[in-house]
Structure 1
Amino acid sequence: MQAKMNLRKFNEAIVIIDKLIELEPSNIEWPLFKSHIQIYNGDIELARYGFEGVLSRDPFSVEAYHGLIMVGAQSGSAELDAIIKRIESKIDKCKKERMKDVARDLILLIAQIRVIEGKYTDALKVYQDLVKEEPKDFRPYLCQGIIYTLLRKKDEADKQFQKYKRLVPKGHPYTGYFDDNMIATQLFAQKVENEKMGRS
């Protein structure tokens, strides 16, 4: 399956995932993975259907909501607004049921939507609130560093990335994120800047 993905043979990868779903129908990871591939393949409605199917089985699936955000980002702001309302209602339930970690993950998703919408100040406020609540969580520092990079505030970005590097555990999947994605983030920031210059 991974080989098919690397070759961008998404339809063939989906055939393999369907076999895995048949073999392990209770494993929620396979339908999630299938829906993500469908996004790459341009099958947005099928992806949406898949993520909704996961949420019908696990109403607090952070990964499924993340998938819906990716789908919504291609459909427009009205859909993202509807997703925010759904996530906010789940955050309220998490707080009532003392599911603190899931609530934090869902709040991070709301900040991600704000970034997609270009509302960087709103996103930063969410991340800053998360830091006040739990200073040892490395994720808000990483996200703030990326936003400051997009805003061309290098000194502030570097401060946040240093905090992130100090806190992220060795061997954590996020440790590779910094090296793999920072060049891409900087290139994206340059692209945004170039587009602004072109409009002015």
Structure 2
Amino acid sequence: MELKVRSQKLPEAIEIVDRLIALEPEERDLPLLKAHFQNYMGDAETAKQGFQEILERDPFCVEAYHGLVMAASQSESSHEELDGILKRVEGAMEMCKKAKKKEDLRDFKLLVAQIRVIEGKYEEALKIYDELVKEEPRDFRPYLCQGIIYTLLRKKDEAEKHFQKYRRLVPKGHPYARYFEENMMAMKIFGQMEESKRRGSFKS
């Protein structure tokens, strides 16, 4: 499957995922993987359906919400869709507070900040990341996100300061670090798209 993905043969990768799901129907990561592949292929609607089905089984699945966010970002009605997802995320966060799921709540806060970046609301995102840093200074993820935002804001010195903190804290070879960097690159692209849209509206 990994070889198919690396060679950009996503339809063939999805066929393999389907076979793996048949072999291991209880494996939760496989449906997520399939939906992400569908989204990368441009089949956002099918991907959304897959993420929705995962959330019906597990309303605390942050990664499924993340998938919905990435899929919604590609649609023409992205702002309306993101608002709807945000409301659902806020509901899930309230459930996390009641169930005292601190780690899930933290992951949801990171997702809310990512939505704000996609919307071009960088200052709001930075406030959330600042709160997360105060809560847990050893978590490398907010520093990476702050570095990305300051890069978007063309504040290179500030960006590098946060990237240094991130590099100092992230464990070597940490799989989540690579995954998160990939997500941040996607976030950066969406941020640039939003910036282009704003420039276009100024011109008109």
Band the TM-score falls in, shorter-chain normalisation: 0.7 to 0.9
Q: Residue by residue, what CA displacement relative to the aligned partner does 1:105-153 show, whole Å, maximum 9, x if unpaired?
A: 0110000001111111111111011111111111111100000001100
Pairwise CA distance, 1:95: 1.0
Over 3 Å counting, the alpha-carbon distance change for 1:107 and 1:43 in structure 2 is same
Structure 2 residue ranges without an equivalent (≥5)? none
Contact 1:144/1:160 (8 A) holds in 2: yes
Measure, in 1, the Cα distance between the counterparts of 2:154 and 2:3. Answer: 37
Over 3 Å counting, the alpha-carbon distance change for 1:31 and 1:184 in structure 2 is closer
Which residue identity does 1:119 align to in structure 2? Answer: K
- After superposing the two structures, state which structure 1 stretch, 34-43 or 172-181, moved more: 172-181
Measure, in 1, the Cα distance between the counterparts of 2:179 and 2:135. Answer: 24
Q: Residue by residue, what CA displacement relative to the aligned partner does 1:139-184 show, whole Å, maximum 9, x if unpaired?
A: 1111000000011001110111111122212331255579989999
| Residue of 172, 175, 181 corresponding to 2:174 | 172
Normalised by the length of structure 1, the TM-score is 0.88
Percentage of matched positions with identical amino acids: 60
Contact 1:151/1:189 (8 A) holds in 2: no
Match of 2:87 in 1: 85
Match of 1:34 in 2: 34
Which residue identity does 2:111 align to in structure 1? Answer: L
Measure, in 2, the Cα distance between the counterparts of 1:91 and 1:182. Answer: 22
Match of 1:60 in 2: 60
Structure 1 residue ranges without an equivalent (≥5)? none
Match of 2:146 in 1: 144
Match of 2:16 in 1: 16
Measure, in 2, the Cα distance between the counterparts of 1:68 and 1:178. Answer: 16
- Within 5 Å, give how 1:40-189 maps onto structure 2: 40-75=40-75, 76-176=78-178
Flag as ranges the 4+ runs of structure 1 deviating above 4 A.
174-200
- After superposing the two structures, state which structure 1 stretch, 179-188 or 153-162, moved more: 179-188
Which residue identity does 1:40 align to in structure 2? Answer: Y
Contact 1:35/1:48 (8 A) holds in 2: yes
Q: CA RMSD in A?
A: 2.9
Measure, in 2, the Cα distance between the counterparts of 1:36 and 1:111. Answer: 20
Partner of 1:124: helix, strand, or coil?
helix
Pairwise CA distance, 1:193: 7.9
Which residue identity does 1:139 align to in structure 2? Answer: R
Q: Which has the higher contact order (CA 8 A, sep 6+)?
A: 2
Measure, in 2, the Cα distance between the counterparts of 1:31 and 1:182. Answer: 22
Q: Residue by residue, what CA displacement relative to the aligned partner does 1:77-107 show, whole Å, maximum 9, x if unpaired?
A: 0110010111111111111111000000011
Q: Residue by residue, what CA displacement relative to the aligned partner does 1:42-101 show, whole Å, maximum 9, x if unpaired?
A: 111110110011111111011101101011112210110010111111111111111000
